[in-house]
Structure 1
Amino acid sequence: MNFNKETKILLLSLAITLGLVGGGIYYLFKDILPGGNQVSVNISNSANNNQSESRISAGEISLTPGDVSVAKRDGIAAFKSGKYEEAVNYFQAALQSKKNDPETLIYLNNAKIGNKKSYSIAVSIPLATEPNFALEVLRGVAQAQNEINLQGGIKNTPLKVVIASDDDRVELVKDIAQNFVKNSEILGVVGHFASDATLAAGEIYNSQQLVAISPTSSAVKISNFSPYVFRTVPSDFMAARALANYMTTKLNKKKAAIFYNSQSGYSQSLKSEFVSAVSLAGGEVSHEFDMSKPDFSAAQSIAQAQGVEVLMLAANSQLLDKGLQVIQVNQRRLPLLAGDGFYALKTLEISQGQGENMVLAVPWHLESNPGADFPQKSRQLWDADVNWRTALSYDAARALITAIETNPSRQGVQQALKSGNFAARGASGELRFANSGDRNAPVQLVQVKSQPNSRSRTGYDFELVRN
């Protein structure tokens, strides 16, 4: 096969598809975008702006990229001026035009608190660099805050949420973590997003004794990293073994090629665990391709992978586009496996039929526990289905809420989470932590399937793999 010729055709097709998808997304979701006049909030997110003060807000600035409605802008101005009743009215109006904006819901709940006594937690996410994934995390935290405050708060004390936009950049993450530990009102942190960010911030949280619970950082290195760092997402050890088992038993394949990002701690962790798991199952990962290299070519890599029976995509979200190129070039010749970084609307939009039957390991799926009420409540709140990032962020916030209820101090929160008696009610049931800081929970295998009436509106959905 002439892979160079095929690559040019596929890349041209991919570029056209991206353009069409962009227009399609706007058309599909224009009804939930802020209506009327739009105004831009001039918040600098450049690499030169390293001051954490401009990246942290309880309602004083908008950290979400893009245009801001007039109502939300006026709510922010009123909040900043201490006119909390006015801010409440404006934020309520803003939510009427854009129901699925978690930042506005958090600011609304914070405005209702005003200067009254409250307990505070923070959430740190890469809003500027990974806005879609970051908003998914923020929805989980916002839902937990909204629920507890509607119930009267934590023992009659409302919960305030502080938001930070950290870009997943180590130096900025550290700066924000230092800001959090200096703010004595913050009793815990939901974050960070990438494993490298959680490890960097975790050193500061450990030395200053502030709890952080990551809903998305799965690198094995985080286990036992610090008595102050927890996570609601299972480690890559679990995901890798589930995928390796599926490859060797369900697919009955023994030889794989893996695509990863050597610059990502998460990606390297998943790669290493998958290689070990396949080897233990009697298989082999015969080829490894680093997608972060400037000369990486999906077509050339697949051409080099002679004798390979399965392709495993272990890249993080930053290299999602390169992973989608692999899917396109593969043309459904070989079975595809992937980590949770590929659980994204973009995967369904771009891969279309080429990604059908790809199997991913994820921590949670809305169909995994039919008896749980979380999917229904979240659908009602956001007017849309949510995914694992929202569910596990909700769990992280619920864990902090439960710990604060036990003892509303930093040390009390840590002791509660470490206690063998600790249990919180999460999106999919009871939530407990092992001594390592990990959550005792399995992963779910999902598969890309064609669905005429798909939830994603792409014609495809991530569906549970049934035994």
Structure 2
Amino acid sequence: MSPKNETAVLAASLLITLGLLGAGAWWMTHRTPGSGISTLLNPKAGESPDAKLDSQQPIISFGEQTLSPGAPSPRKENGMKALAQESYDQAIGSFTAALKEQRNDPETLIFLNNARVGQRKSYAIAVVAPVNTDLNGALEIFRGVAQAQTEINRAGGINGTLLRVAIANDDNNPELAKRVAAALAENNQILGVVGHFASDASLAAGSVYEAEELVAISPVSTSVKLSGFSNYVFRTVPSDYVAARALADYMLSKLQQKNAAVFFNSQSNYSKSLKSEFVSSVLTRGGQVTAEFDLAEANFSAAKSIEQAVKQNAEVLMLAATTDSLDRALQVVQLNRKRLDVLGGDDVYTPKTLEIGGDAAAEMVLAVPWHINTDPTSPFPQESQKLWGGDVNWRTALAYDATQALFAALRQSPTRAGIQQALSSADFSTTGASGTIRFLPSGDRNASVQLVKIAPGSRSGTGYDFVPVPSQ
């Protein structure tokens, strides 16, 4: 493709992106949580998480203050003030009213649940997510935890002892993640943690959890470096090894293609992990990876990369993109124009891919841990629909599972040491949104992944949906 054509395509992409940003207020009130665009408040413009890291102190909130950027609604603000003053009935009333205004705000539901606990005996856990740097991703995690907390407390908790949840933010920053982990470990109320989000954050915080003997269960971090990393770090999401094998199998068996070009982010542990596992899996099955392209390079060119991939006889493009490199990966999708088959990891599973990718992304296949249509008999999708007014995705489901796993361990022994022993036991088992939850000695979940593809559809409201690929 000529530089002129590339410039035209990229300019069109920019206009689409600006249009989506301009329509933010409409999306905020009209879209469902499953769309991933139900951002409650916009992050502060022009702020770099690293710039303020030196002065940024971890905030652990049970409902006394919000972590979401921007100003909360007046009713939510009143609820937080009342909760801080231990005026629980007033807090319940204010949070209930705030949820009627914004029903898919999981932070408010967590605060409401905590207000309902009041001064009664409770067990406390925390959830950590990148609130400022990936607000939609954070909300997806919070929804899973909030739903599990709601169901657990409605059922009476453990012999009347209810569950309280604290929220914390790490911005997917490893240094801040360490500080958050240390603050959570210092708080004796916290018996377990749901988090972290990025693999780099989980690896950084994991060393603190190991030293302080506090369990953390990540619903999102997939890097193979986390396998066996710590006796206190678990995850409800399968590792990149599982996802990479599924993608390689699909490429070689279903697509009948042997040559792949891989796009990855050299600044991400997750991306490097998925790339490495995919390359290894393809090679061991007789295929080849003919080219690798770093999305993080300053001079990265989607058009030149595709041209080079074609010259090197690539038949498939595999996108091991991350949230912060997704825009460049989607440029690849747009400029590829379905000439070569496209595969991707779970970070590509976002509404943005459907919106920006459009027809150019149709037939792309991704490996994700869970899809809402995988098990029609599961009660989780129906309950989440009632709670949030829309579909949820795999991040919410696996955050729900992480909370349920901590609760099941709490039921056996409500101490930090007891939780670690329960989760490590070969006999441990509980049920979550995505089926049975068991952990391998490595801390990994004993589970498979689901392949999904992009196809025309009306469920997401973008004209395209992620739909399950039938088992081979």
TM superposition score category, shorter chain reference: over 0.9
Shift of 1:65: 2.4
Q: Secondary structure at the match of 2:72?
A: strand
Name the residue aligned to 2:7. Answer: 8
Distance 2:159 2:31 in 1: 35
Give the letter for the 2:265 counterpart.
N
Contact 1:206–1:226 (8 Å) recurs in 2: yes
User: Which of 234, 255, 265 in structure 1 is aligned with 2:269?
Assistant: 265
Distance change (3 Å), C-alpha of 1:20 and 1:72: same
* 1:125 to 2:129 alignment: yes
Instruction: Determine the C-alpha separation between the residues in 1 that align with 2:272 and 2:244.
Output: 12
Query: Which AA in structure 2 matches 1:341?
Result: D
Give, in angstroms, the shift of residue 96 of structure 1.
0.2
Letter paired with 1:136 = E
Q: SS at the partner of 2:299?
A: coil
Does residue 302 of structure 1 match 2:306? yes
| Letter of the 1:135 counterpart | L
Residues 43, 132 of structure 2: 8 Å contact kept: no
Q: Does 1:222 align with 2:222?
A: no
Query: In the TM superposition, what whole-angstrom CA distance separates every residue of 1:200-239 from its partner, at most 9, and x where no partner exists?
Result: 1000101111000000000011111111100000000000
Instruction: Report if aligned partners of 1:349, 1:458 keep a CA contact under 8 Å in 2.
Output: yes
- Check conservation: 2:41, 2:69, Cα contact below 8 A: no
Give the Å deviation of 1:61.
1.2
Q: Secondary structure at the match of 1:87?
A: helix
Q: In structure 2, what is the Cα distance between the partners aligned to 1:54 and 1:358?
A: 39
Which structure 2 segments of 5+ residues have no match?
33-39
Matched with 1:18 is 17
2:416 paired with 1:410: yes
Q: Contact 1:447/1:463 (CA < 8 Å) preserved in 2? A: yes
Q: How far apart are residue 45 of structure 1 and its match?
A: 8.2
Is residue 313 from structure 1 mapped to residue 319 from structure 2 by the alignment?
yes
Query: More deviation in 12-21 or 258-267?
Result: 12-21
Q: Which amino acid aligns with 2:375?
A: N
| 1:200 to 2:225 alignment | no
Secondary structure of 1:439's counterpart equals coil
Looking at structure 1, the residues matched to 236 and 27 of structure 2 have their Cα atoms a distance apart, in angstroms, of 32
* Alpha-carbon distance between aligned partners in 2 of 1:154 and 1:53, rounded to the nearest angstrom: 33
How many residue pairs get aligned? The number is 460
TM-score (norm 1): 0.95
CA contact (8 A) 1:52 1:175 kept: no
Matched AA of 2:349: Y
Shift of the 293–39 alpha-carbon distance from structure 1 to 2, 3 Å rule, reads closer
Q: Deviations over 1:316-369 (max 9, x none)?
A: 111111111111111111110000000001111111101000000000001111
Contact (CA 8 Å) 1:328, 1:354: kept in 2 or not? yes
Closer, same or farther in 2 for the Cα pair 1:113/1:52, shift >3 Å?
A: farther
Deviation track 1:113-133 (CA, whole Å, cap 9, x = no partner) reads 223221000011101000111
Number of the residue aligned with 2:26: 27
Q: Once the 2 structures are TM-superposed, how far is the Cα of residue 52 of structure 1 from its aligned partner?
A: 6.2
Alignment partner, residue 422 of structure 1: 428
- Distance (whole Å) between structure 2 residues aligned to residue 56 and residue 11 of structure 1: 41
Amino acid at match of 2:231: P
Query: Within 1, Cα distance between the matches of 2:331 and 2:41?
Result: 36
Amino acid at match of 2:221: S
Q: CA deviation digits over 1:232-264, x for unaligned, max 9?
A: 000000000100010111111111110000110
Equivalent residues of 2:294, 2:300 under 8 A apart = yes
Q: 1:464: which partner in 2?
A: 468
C-alpha displacement at 1:428, in angstroms?
A: 2.2
CA shift for structure 1 position 21: 2.1
1:81 CA displacement: 2.2
Pair 1:157 & 2:161 matched: yes
CA contact (8 A) 1:51 1:175 kept: no
Partner residue of 1:135? 139
Aligned mate of 1:114, from 90, 102, 118: 118
CA distance in 2, matches of 1:429, 1:32: 28
> 1:332 aligned to 2:331?
no
- The SS at the match of 2:140 is helix
Q: Does 1:341 align with 2:340?
A: no
Report the residue type matching 1:104 in the other structure.
T
- Give the partner amino acid of 2:130: P
Runs (5+) with no aligned partner, structure 1: none
- The question of whether the paired residues in 2 share the 8 Å contact of 1:216 and 1:392 is answered with yes
Contact 1:14–1:350 (Cα < 8 Å) also in 2: yes
Q: How does 1:39-438 map to 2 (within 5 A)?
A: 46=49, 47-50=51-54, 53=57, 55-305=59-309, 306=311, 307-438=313-444
Pairwise CA distance, 1:50:
4.6
Contact 1:327 1:355 in 2 (8 A): yes
The superposition leaves residues 373-429 of structure 1 with CA deviations (integer Å, 9 ceiling, x where unpaired) of 101111111101000000000000000000001100000000110111111110022
Identify if the C-alpha distance between structure 1 residues 262 and 444 changes in structure 2 by more than 3 Å, giving closer, same or farther. same
SS at 2:17 equivalent:
helix
